[in-house]
């Protein structure tokens, strides 16, 4: 083989080797790029999933926080209304009631009125008046006079009035011993009675107070 033919063969082999190498290189590069893109896409998808999950968790916690704040706010408003009612209505009213029932002369007149009204509507006047211990000595003479007045009715079945102490702080109670009927005129009874009428009206003043009312305007 001549030198020119040999050289031509060498050149041809080199060209084929270069072209084959280039093709292989391009194929390797393309495959690498494809795999790299797949990795990037997969990583991006995972990252988006993590972000969505984190956002969902954040939204969930935010809703829980908002719900807790609404409940806490509602409880605060309810507690505030209760405190206002207690300090502006219940406490002053209780002071007035106990103050009035703690006055011996007022207590006497109240007992007289109740006893006369009650005995005037019932056949028997067999009543026991229960008063606070510290009032018993103060009204004993009054009760004797009241018993005498009741005894002058001429009722042959009249059994009279008796005075005793009871577990009472202010006011009095009357026991109709014949049938175990008790009339309660203690401070707690009067307070509960007054509150039944006054509390609904008092609460009307605060019924429109709601959490976030100012913010919504």
Asked whether residue 215 carries a pLDDT value surpassing 50, the answer given is: no
* Percentage with pLDDT > 70 across the chain: 81
What integer pLDDT is reported at residue 97 of this predicted model? 93
Residue predicted with more confidence, 180 or 48: 48
What integer pLDDT is reported at residue 1 of this predicted model? 57
Handedness of CA 111, 114, 117, 121 (dihedral sign): negative
Cα–Cα distance measured from residue 192 to residue 208, given in angstroms and rounded to the nearest whole number: 25
- Spatial strand order of the sheet with 127-131 comes to 161-165, 127-131, 171-176, 181-186
Residue predicted with more confidence, 41 or 16: 41
Mean pLDDT on 157-181: 80
Residue predicted with more confidence, 93 or 209: 93
Ordered by where they begin, the domains of the chain are 102-179 (3.40.30)
Q: Which residues are within 8 A (CB) of 94 and not within 5 positions of it... i.e. 6 or more apart? A: 187, 191
Q: Both tokens of residue 29?
A: 């590069």
CA nearest to 96, candidates 83, 108, 106 = 106
Asked whether residue 20 carries a pLDDT value surpassing 50, the answer given is: yes
Q: Which residues are within 8 A (CB) of 46 and not within 5 positions of it... i.e. 6 or more apart? A: none
What integer pLDDT is reported at residue 98 of this predicted model? 93
Residue 95: pLDDT band with limits 50, 70, 90 = very high
Asked whether residue 217 carries a pLDDT value surpassing 90, the answer given is: no
Residue predicted with more confidence, 22 or 95: 95
The three state secondary structure string of the chain is CCHHHHHHHHHHHHHHHHHHHHHHHHHHHHHHHHHHHHHHHHHHHHHHHHHHHHHHHHHHHHHHHHHHHHHHHHHHHHHHHHHHHHHHHHHHHHHHHHHHHCCHHHHHHHHHHHHHHHHHHCCCCCEEEEECHHHHHHHHHHHHHHHHHHHCCCCCCCCCEEEEECCCCCEEEEEECCCCEEEEEEHHHHHHHHHHHHHHHHHHCCCCCCCCHHHHC
């Amino acid at each position: 083989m001549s030198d020119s033919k040999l050289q031509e063969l060498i050149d041809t082999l080199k060209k084929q080797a270069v072209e084959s190498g280039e093709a292989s290189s391009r194929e390797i590069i393309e495959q690498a790029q494809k795999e790299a893109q797949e990795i990037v896409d997969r990583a991006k998808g995972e990252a988006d999933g993590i972000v969505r999950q984190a956002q969902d968790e954040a939204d969930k916690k935010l809703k829980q926080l908002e719900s807790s704040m609404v409940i806490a706010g509602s409880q605060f408003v309810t507690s505030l209304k209760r405190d206002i009612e207690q300090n502006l209505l219940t406490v002053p009213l209780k002071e007035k009631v106990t103050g009035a029932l703690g006055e011996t002369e007022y207590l006497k007149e109240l007992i007289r009125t109740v006893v006369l009204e009650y005995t005037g509507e019932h056949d028997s006047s067999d009543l026991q008046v229960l008063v606070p211990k510290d009032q018993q000595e103060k009204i004993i003479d009054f009760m004797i006079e009241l018993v005498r007045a009741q005894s002058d009715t001429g009722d042959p079945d009249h059994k009279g009035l008796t005075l005793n102490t009871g577990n009472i702080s202010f006011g009095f109670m009357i026991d109709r011993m014949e049938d175990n009927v008790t009339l309660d005129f203690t401070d707690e009874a009067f307070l509960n009675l007054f509150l039944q009428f006054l509390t609904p009206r008092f609460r009307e003043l605060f019924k429109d107070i709601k959490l976030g009312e100012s913010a919504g305007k």
